[in-house]
Amino acid sequence: MELSDAFAQVVEKHRKSKGFSRSFLAERAGLHQTYIGLLEKGHRSPNLDTAKCIAKALGVPLAKMIEQSERILKSH
């Protein structure tokens, strides 16, 4: 498992906890909804700037999302 696979889970968790659809999150983050889908399936490893846009759109500090991702990675 790579960090981006763990990050995919963390994005989906925060998105659902906010009640955001993939298309709503995509629009807020300035990304295409197909990209959000691919990312949540672990088919994309976002660069730091894209990851930051997603975190901002979710209203969560990126550092917190990375911390949660690193925790998932460690437990695997």
Segment lying near a copy of itself (by CB under 8 A), choices 15-23, 27-35, 55-63: 55-63
Does position 30 bind a copy of itself by CB under 8 A? no
Neighbours of 25 (CB within 10 A): 22
| Residue in 25, 29, 51, 58 binding a copy of itself, rule: CB under 8 A | 51
Cβ-based burial of 6 (10 A; exposed 0-12, middle 13-18, buried ≥19): buried
Does position 62 bind a copy of itself by CB under 8 A? yes
d(CA 34, CA 59): 21
Residues that bind a copy of itself (CB under 8 A): 2-4, 7, 45-52, 61-64, 66-67, 69-70
